[in-house]
Amino acid sequence: GEDVEQSLFLSVREGDSSVINCTYTDSSSTYLYWYKQEPGAGLQLLTYIFSNMDMKQDQRLTVLLNKKDKHLSLRIADTQTGDSAIYFCAKQAPSNAGKSTFGDGTTLTVKP
Amino acid sequence: DTEVTQTPKHLVMGMTNKKSLKCEQHMGHRAMYWYKQKAKKPPELMFVYSYEKLSINESVPSRFSPECPNSSLLNLHLHALQPEDSALYLCASSHGGAGFYEQYFGPGTRLTVT
């Protein structure tokens, strides 16, 4: 997606932390989402954060938002082989109700 | 129940065939979506239905025809498709209306056009 950018690949060792990064444009208030897609499957919503928040934690997942730099990150603690998937960052703005803009996805590979 | 179901899981069709994809949700959501996803790419929005009315059509060719018979069901009718239409077709739903609502995706239908 042209408004949302992600690095394409990340490789980590099992048990390490993974950090997947995303940058976005558009200064209006927005929700930012992280989705996980395993091979041959649909998208699974992992978590989301509103653009006036700094951080959100949900079990092994931590989302950090740098509003000034429009930089979003997803940290996965104690990464497992089952976390291997493509992770999409997406944004949704009120002016485009129902439309989400997706990044190109980051392929996370977890090595045992 | 936080599930969106899609049938069939796989579909192979010729360029002269007519087929339909189906999507169903029982979460009481009032917005439903069709996306097309090519391999290793993000989903591309095709259509949005809000309260059973078509609210967004992303300039999709007329060989794709959506239908929302009721708030739980969404169909995508296919006719005279091209090989480049081969892709994973994803359905999603959300609460709908004004505001921000997370979308729940189905597992998709893998479509191959021969």
Neighbours of B63 (CB within 10 A): 14
Q: What is the pLDDT of residues B25-70, one digit of tens each?
A: 999 999 999 999 999 899 999 999 989 999 889 999 999 999 999 9
Q: Which residues of A touch B55 (CB under 8 A)?
A: 98
Answer yes or no: do B100 and A31 touch at CB < 8 A.
yes
Neighbours of A90 (CB within 10 A): 26
Cα A7 → chain centroid:
11
User: What are the φ and ψ backbone dihedral angles of A81, each rounded to 5 degrees?
Assistant: -60, -30
Q: How confident is residue A56, by pLDDT bands cut at 50, 70 and 90?
A: very high
Answer yes or no: do A88 and B42 touch at CB < 8 A.
yes
The shortest CB-CB distance from A42 to any of B100, B102, B107 is to B107
Q: How confident is residue B95, by pLDDT bands cut at 50, 70 and 90?
A: confident
pLDDT attached to residue A2: 56
Mean model confidence pLDDT for chain B: 92
Residue B65 carries which DSSP code? E
Burial B29-40 (b: 16+ CB within 10 A, else e): bbbbbbbbbeee
Q: Which residue has the tokens 């499957």?
A: A41
pLDDT attached to residue A93: 72
Any B CB within 8 A of A53 CB: no
pLDDT attached to residue A1: 47
Any B CB within 8 A of A105 CB: yes
The whole-angstrom separation of Cα A84 and Cα A87 is 9
